[in-house]
Structure 1
Amino acid sequence: MYLPTVDDLKVLKLKNKSVYVKIELLDHNYLTLAELNGVTIDLSLSINANSDIRRTLSLTMTVRDDSLLLGENRKIWFDRYIRVYAGYLNTLSPKQEVLWYNMGIYLFNQTSYSYDVSTKNLSLSCSDLMSELTGARNGAIPAIMMQISEGANIREVMIKALTQDYNSEGEESVLLNRPYIIDDIGGEINVPSGSSDPRCVPYDLKFNAGATRHQVIEKLRDLYPGWETYFDVNGVFICKRIPTCKDDAVALTDSVLSELVISEQLQNSLEEVKNDILLYGVQKKDNTQIEARCWDQNEASPFCVQKLGRITEVLSGGEYAKIATNDLALQRAKYELWKRTRLNDGLQLQTITIPWLDVNQKIRYTPRITGKTEEWIIKSINHSVSSGTSSLELIKFYPLYPDIT
């Protein structure tokens, strides 16, 4: 998490700002080849915690020559990336330096070029590095990964799906340059002595021809509930638990945020609240059913069954029908209960652009509608750097609920 400095906060509150955009052209090792020179007209960035392609970018710039046209010998091509920075001139400093903020590394998805007598405009549509795994840009899995056997270590298989590739002879010995931080999925789960290792694949996984690396990674990640995979702003692949933010520091305080908010809208979804989860997993050959049930019994919770009675949600079929053990079913049921009794109070804020904020961070804010200071978790951000505004989607943080394990 980026910790803003005193200068960051002072510049953010300036009524009149000079905003800059810097775009670095990178090779496949993320080394800088050049800067894309031009005048940026518009830059918008979306960050979504619920999407594996976490960051998408739209950019329009006026260009001076044809080096920015799409072509093998030009700057924009299949094997190139861009790293984007937003900058703000610190007019309060005698040095008048620009404060730069990393907005991420992207692949080119689409380009369009328009020309008339007065303008030469290039528009770029970009997405983060997950596009390399989904099939949007390559991503096909090696043939050896069409079947993953029961007992294989989940983390090791995920690393292979991320980094293994063929050489020119078709041998699977090439390692792709993809830095990663992959936590040990299942490693924190305690099981009785003699039970199977929770860090291992619980049953054979099979993939059809045309499957992508992302599909393999997604299947491995979802063997246990509450995990996320994405690329961070530095191009590092991350696999970790979705943070509850229970022990996280506040990324932005109410005293700072209240001066930056332009408008707000409070949302409450009553129909999404369920305090009793009944989940059905695999139907076994002997006609026994994998199942689990859990309900909110926390009397300090506004959603507990003691106060509201049972509001039941039955989960079956689809992804649930692949849950192979009662232990996994109970874990998933607890996770679904956590989602349905915790993530339904929403707040939309339009703010002055805060370039270092990210999703799944906790902030503190007092809505003008309620006048009550509370903590919130950021779930999506939409920046418009050119207009200097952002929209934030927040959910209320409920400290009453424990981490899901």
Structure 2
Amino acid sequence: MAYEVTQTDLSILRQGEQEIHLKVELLNENFKILDSLEGYVLNDRYSQDSESLQRRSYSCDLKVMNSTFIIGKDKKIWFDKRIRVFYGVKSIRENKIIWYQLGVFCYISMKYTSTGTDRTLSLTCGDLMSLYDGTLNGQLHGKGSIPNAPDYAVKNLLIPAGEDIRLAIIGTLKAAGINKYIVEDIGKPIPYDLTFSTGAVYSDVWTKIRDLYDSWEFYFDADGTFIWRQVPTGLHEPVTLDDNLMQSIVKDENADMKFSDIYNVTEVWGKVLELDQSDRYADTSAYTDNTYRITLDSFTSWQDVDNLTQIAFKVSSNNLNAPKFTINNFAPIPICDGNGNPLQPENLKANNIYIFRYRRINAEQNALFLLGQFQCYGRYVEESVECPFSVTNIGYEIIRSIDYDNLSDDAACYNQAEFLTYKSTAMMDTINLTTLVVPWLEVNTKVDYTPRYNKIQGQYIVKNINWSTGEGVMNVTLYKFLESFSYVYNRKNK
């Protein structure tokens, strides 16, 4: 969960010289404290990366004092052991150490070094995601993810079309044995059956669900809680560090720039749409009173149409705003885009075949959702005047084409293209700082800062962080935040 910054936290940063402490607790797999390790830590390194599944990582060198540091089931170093790391700073005003939890970590690799009478154990640790991404474990158990779902074939997982995404995620978390979680509601269903077979791990499932729609993320926070949320745009998030405080804690600034990996246009090619035996196709349609009309002899009412049935037909005329649809002159229902919004004029072009998905939204409401033509497609062009890498400023397009065969409608492809273009333009406008350690600072949070190289004050988003406890300073990468970036602006107006 997000850390609530207090005046004590801010006062500590203003102290200047800091008295630093480290606390490392040894835990069992149920997070019960078994021992303390901080007296044995010689040096360490901590990092956060907003673009990594294992968001937090920790490494350290331990002084080996006795046989309990040998790898073994009854020793301090084993599969079922965890470490919980705290960074402490002495508060002069309160005359006590303020502790900040950095994370709960699992052992990934160990290396022993012996020099004379000194023995050192080097540990590389990942956060709890390492238990579910295949690094240490995480293969599926062969159960359905949905509460009260039947058993499926061994080591197979089926998440059926139409299942609420939040419930599906929570189902997989329970199957994985994860009891501490916060899962935001996407408010959309699984658009088609998702099947995962032998060799798949839980992070594969979460990644595939995440990528059904743009700009969602999942990770374990410092407390070991699983978080599923929409990636913050920075628009509504508070500023965690103001410019005055930033100026007082920044030691060095590095504003290097590179032009590689920058793309101001992204094309996303989605799923190839196919009609199954249960789906329906009409080779002709009529368009009157802003309603597309087709005939299908097998249906006598909307109740005969199965939820999530795909319906394809040849469009007879370009559409007006917010068109409707009917079969056999049933009561017309709205046609929506993949985001659930009424279709804009000219979305459907005459003499083209389009595929739609029929959905029962609730007991009294149903609608037809546009998927696209026979391959879903979205193209986004960054044109923001304030984005330094936009087509407007560079003067030409730098295009990247990507296959996302999990995206099943044009709107999802467009949204994903917009998000990926934001990552390859706005998030590439970075600045690297060396500052006093701010142990409660998180990636994807916002700060105010006036760079020394251009003296232009602005807001920035934290991209990654790393430090060594003994040094007392951290390295942080920021990228420029501007509300006019299209990805941010468009979400403001949704």
- TM-score interval, normalised by the smaller of the two chains: 0.7 to 0.9
1:118 positional shift:
4.6
The one-letter code sitting in structure 1 at the alignment partner of 2:59 is S
Work out the CA distance in 2 between the residues paired with 1:356 and 1:142. Answer: 36
1:153 positional shift:
2.5
Are 2:289 and 1:290 aligned?
Answer: no
Q: 1:259 to 1:150 in 2, by over 3 A?
A: same
Check whether the contact 2:386–2:482 (CA below 8 A) recurs between aligned residues.
no
1:146 positional shift:
3.0
1:281 positional shift:
2.0
Q: 1:403 to 1:15 in 2, by over 3 A?
A: same
Question: Which residue of structure 1 aligns with residue 164 of structure 2?
Answer: 153
Q: 1:142 to 1:289 in 2, by over 3 A?
A: same
TM-score by length of 2: 0.71
Q: 1:330 to 1:97 in 2, by over 3 A?
A: same
Secondary structure at the aligned position of 1:334 is classed as helix
The one-letter code sitting in structure 1 at the alignment partner of 2:399 is E
Q: 1:14 to 1:40 in 2, by over 3 A?
A: farther
1:31 positional shift:
2.6
Question: Which residue of structure 1 aligns with residue 453 of structure 2?
Answer: 369
Work out the CA distance in 2 between the residues paired with 1:300 and 1:126. Answer: 40
Work out the CA distance in 1 between the residues paired with 2:389 and 2:272. Answer: 31
Question: Which residue of structure 2 aligns with residue 382 of structure 1?
Answer: 466
Q: 1:64 to 1:13 in 2, by over 3 A?
A: farther
Question: Which residue of structure 1 aligns with residue 27 of structure 2?
Answer: 26
Q: C-alpha offsets along residues 223-275 of structure 1, whole Å, 9 cap, x if unaligned?
A: 11101010000000011111111111111111111122221111344455544
Are 2:311 and 1:322 aligned?
Answer: no
In structure 1, stretches of 5+ residues that fail to align are 166-175, 188-198
The one-letter code sitting in structure 2 at the alignment partner of 1:140 is Q
1:113 positional shift:
3.3
Which deviates the most, 332-341 or 240-249?
A: 332-341
Q: C-alpha offsets along residues 200-219 of structure 1, whole Å, 9 cap, x if unaligned?
A: 22122232311111111111
TM-score by length of 1: 0.85
Work out the CA distance in 1 between the residues paired with 2:108 and 2:387. Answer: 46
Secondary structure at the aligned position of 1:134 is classed as coil
Question: Which residue of structure 1 aligns with residue 44 of structure 2?
Answer: 43
Q: 1:248 to 1:146 in 2, by over 3 A?
A: same
Question: Percent same amino acid among aligned pairs?
Answer: 31
Are 2:265 and 1:254 aligned?
Answer: no
Are 2:437 and 1:332 aligned?
Answer: no
Question: Which residue of structure 1 aligns with residue 314 of structure 2?
Answer: none
Work out the CA distance in 2 between the residues paired with 1:33 and 1:153. Answer: 40
Q: 1:311 to 1:212 in 2, by over 3 A?
A: same
Question: Which residue of structure 2 aligns with residue 210 of structure 1?
Answer: 199
Question: Which residue of structure 1 aligns with residue 104 of structure 2?
Answer: 105
Are 2:426 and 1:345 aligned?
Answer: no
**Of 305, 313, 317, the match for 2:399:** 313
Check whether the contact 1:38–1:63 (CA below 8 A) recurs between aligned residues.
no
Secondary structure at the aligned position of 1:75 is classed as coil
1:296 positional shift:
4.0
Are 2:175 and 1:164 aligned?
Answer: yes
Check whether the contact 2:211–2:406 (CA below 8 A) recurs between aligned residues.
no
Check whether the contact 2:53–2:129 (CA below 8 A) recurs between aligned residues.
yes
1:110 positional shift:
1.8
The number of residue pairs the alignment matches comes to 379
In structure 2, stretches of 5+ residues that fail to align are 143-151, 275-352, 354-372
1:382 positional shift:
0.8
1:277 positional shift:
3.6
| 1:86-125 map, 5 Å | 86-90=87-91, 92-93=92-93, 96-125=95-124
Work out the CA distance in 2 between the residues paired with 1:210 and 1:308. Answer: 45
Aligned CA RMSD, in angstroms, stands at 2.5
Question: Which residue of structure 2 aligns with residue 79 of structure 1?
Answer: 80
